[in-house]
Amino acid sequence: MIHFSIGRSHEIRISCADVADLKDLLLTLKDSFLDISKQEIIFPNTPENHLQLDLILGERFPVSACLYADLAIALGEKLYLSPKTTQAYSGYIKAFFLKYPKRHWEVLEEDLSQFLREFISKKNPANSTIHLVISALQFFFRDALGLYPSLQLERPKKEKVLPEILDKEEVRRIIHSTENPKHRALLSLVYSSGLRVSEVVNLKIQDIDKQRKVLKVASKGKSMRTTILSDMGIDSIREYMDNVGHPTYLFPGQDSIRPLSIRSAEKIFEAASKKAGIKKKVSIHSLRHAFATHLLEAGSDIKYLQSLLGHKNLQTTQVYLSLANPLKNELRKTG
């Protein structure tokens, strides 16, 4: 058995004494070199080197879950996955090879299915976690290594978790808990116009039509839609604009020529919600949920609401029918 180690910079070190007959071949690996003082062959743990190493050494090279986890990271970086996704995938690949200490080419599709079944049975994880494990296995064995081009692991149906809805009094408390006119205007528009956080931060002065009481919104993709601009929204904008002049973006960031960041808008809501004493599990998107639900409770048409929210699929909008209070009004389900 060959002894090896992985250094801090993810290089692999192998004793020359262990591979005397294969030393010259191993030195053909990319960026490999011989450390004469320690009599070790050193090379970076890149996907190409790792896979070539397996082929050269075969059964003489020990199966290492840690090494395969490192390989998953290298492959993720090569395929431009986000660092967060890459780290998550790497953890599940390590867990798989700890359970099945095989060469990667010896892994069977049944091994993958069995690993998934046992993971679900022992951990009882949320569906989102199961989806992540499946994505990790399919990424590594199907997409990155190409071992099973048609690999499909059965995914559980997504759990339908309905969001908590803020009532009108809670919305009022959140909006009025902040003394900053800019913050109050931002939260007011998210609620009174049913905006996504990405939409509210990118609003421009020219998107506001006070006379017609409408907002022009750059929706998902490159599409545009028009939604309502309520008296509440107009009043909050007027109060805010009296103090800031006329920037390009309605809610500029610190450098004034760029919009406020999405994270900054989220923090504004979080601070306001905490100050208002809201105990529900909510986010700034909850104001958009409240907008939709409160309109339905007031008797608004579901297809009209669909157009205001910018939903392409009516089924997406119909979720709010189960969130609205049916005792307040007889809800109309068709346009």
Active-site residues, by number, are 196, 220, 285, 288, 311, 320
Burial class (CB in 10 A: 0-12, 13-18, 19+), 334: exposed
Find all residues with CB under 8 Å of 280, minimum gap 6, and list them. 164, 166, 170, 286
Give yes or no for a contact between 208 and 230, defined as CB atoms under 8 angstroms apart.
no
Closest C-alpha among 178, 229, 176 to residue 205: 229
* 160 Ramachandran zone, left/alpha/beta (phi>0; psi -120 to 50): beta
**Phi, psi dihedrals of residue 256, rounded to the nearest 5°:** 70, -20
Q: How far apart are CA 204 and CA 248, in angstroms?
A: 6
**Phi, psi dihedrals of residue 215, rounded to the nearest 5°:** -120, 135
Q: Greatest CA separation found in the chain?
A: 85
